[in-house]
Amino acid sequence: MATTTDPTSTGAAGGAHLRNAGLFGGTLPRWVPPALLVVLAGAVAGVLLAAGAFNAPLLAVLTTVAYAVAITVASAIVENRRRATDRLVTAVVYTCFALAMVPLVSLLWTVLVNGLQRLDGYFLSVSMNGVTPSMDAGGVYHAIVGTISITGFAALISIPIGLMTAIYLVEYGRGRLKQAITFFVDVMTGIPSIVAGLFVVALWMLLFGPGNTNGAAGAISLSVLMIPVVVRSCEEMLRLVPNELREASYALGVPKWLTIVKVVLPTAIAGITTGVMLALARVIGETAPLILTAGSSAVAINWNLFDGQMMSLPVFIYSQVRMGGAINYERAWAAALTLILVVMLLFLLARLVSRFFAPKLGR
């Protein structure tokens, strides 16, 4: 039987009778799966080269299939059926994971390769003021300024409103009003971004007359998109706080609002920060509403949300691609890379913030 096929546990002297009792089946040594994978990859590559049909995707697919079959068969022979199933499923899960990573890695790689051609200190620190579209000059500074001030202002509006709505829904709301708010938040989550932009354009038209849109209008349209996301994620996080903590606080004679501020929010703060950051990341790449509101032709640096047009990174990418020249594409890729970097920076910041606020486990 399978009692002698176990090369790894030959030293277990006292285990002999246990092995005979079937507690120790045979085991494939740890090095077998990776070695098998390498050997199969080599073999498949050899066959493909010989057939003159070598390409990387084909190699990956064939190797994966061959590996799944080989490891299952090997395991079925040396080990047992349960282990064989386990190995097969493990192979399938890893394959799915790799498949999911393909578009992500490929996207990051493309943006990195194309973006790095133009991304440098100069590109980041100058605007497009006085630069004609085909000139080998100009940069993205004005768009960074726009993105930061517009999304910053949008966050300033959305986070308090969203968080307080979530607190209302979880801690105070009951009956009809709560249902109505939940319903409208759900509806708002589904609003197409361009509709949010149109809404703000119409609003500004009513308030300030035609042609007066500015950065603030862009921020408002983004917050229309952002508020429901903030409400949803904060609501979820607040619900995760165990009721026992609230009761413990009430039982100490702490009023409800202090319980929320000092017990519920601190307990949920890490999740809330993450949720808010996800909402920010969702709106920072919005293009359509900003084209309608903050404008798509601004070239100069403008820090003032309430005066004049404002460029932003996604709109910059859009308008450069629209121009269609080689240098415009370079600018668009570099701006795309900048946008990704800004988002990553935001997430880093969120991590730091939530670590700063989160339960102090050490000290």
Partner 1 sequence: MSKRIDVSGLHVYYGDFLAVEDVSMTIEPRSVTAFIGSSGCGKSTFLRTLNRMHEVTPGARVQGKVMLDDQDIYAPEVDPVAVRREIGMVFQRPNPFPTMSIYDNVIAGARLNNQRMPKARADELVERSLRGANLWDEVKDRLNRPGAGLSGGQQQRLCIARAIAVEPAVLLMDEPCSALDPISTLAIEDLISQLKENYTIVIVTHNMQQAARVSDVTAFFNLAGTGKPGKLIEMGETNKIFTKPDKKETENYITGRFG
Size of residue set near partner 1 by CB under 8 A: 25
In the list 151, 193, 267, 319, the residue contacting partner 1 (rule: CB under 8 A) is 267
Confirm or reject binding of residue 273 to partner 1 (CB under 8 A).
Answer: no
d(CA 358, CA 53) in angstroms, rounded, equals 55
Confirm or reject binding of residue 266 to partner 1 (CB under 8 A).
Answer: yes
Contact region for partner 1 (CB under 8 A) — 65-73, 84-92, 193-201, 251-259? 251-259
Contact region for partner 1 (CB under 8 A) — 3-11, 253-261, 285-293, 306-314? 253-261
Burial 66-104 (b: 16+ CB within 10 A, else e): bbbebbbebbeebbeeebbeebbeebeeebeeeeeeeee
Residue window 64-83: x/- pattern of binding to partner 1, with contact defined by CB under 8 A: --------------------
In the list 75, 233, 249, 293, the residue contacting partner 1 (rule: CB under 8 A) is 249
Contact call for residues 141 and 126 (beta carbons, < 8 A): yes
Contact region for partner 1 (CB under 8 A) — 127-135, 188-196, 247-255, 325-333? 247-255
Contact call for residues 224 and 293 (beta carbons, < 8 A): no
Contact region for partner 1 (CB under 8 A) — 5-13, 72-80, 118-126, 241-249? 241-249
d(CA 142, CA 128) in angstroms, rounded, equals 7
In the list 104, 207, 252, 326, the residue contacting partner 1 (rule: CB under 8 A) is 252
Q: Token pair for residue 75?
A: 């395991």
Positive or negative, the CA dihedral 50, 51, 54, 60 is negative
Confirm or reject binding of residue 142 to partner 1 (CB under 8 A).
Answer: no
Q: Is 317 left (phi over 0), alpha (psi -120 to 50) or beta?
A: alpha
Confirm or reject binding of residue 262 to partner 1 (CB under 8 A).
Answer: yes
Tell me the backbone φ, ψ of residue 54, rounded to 5 degrees: -75, 125
Contact region for partner 1 (CB under 8 A) — 150-158, 259-267, 299-307, 333-341? 259-267
Q: Using alpha carbons only, how large is the chain's radius of gyration in Å?
A: 29
Residues of this chain that interact with partner 1 (CB under 8 A) are 174, 242, 244-255, 258-259, 262-263, 266-267, 358-361, 363
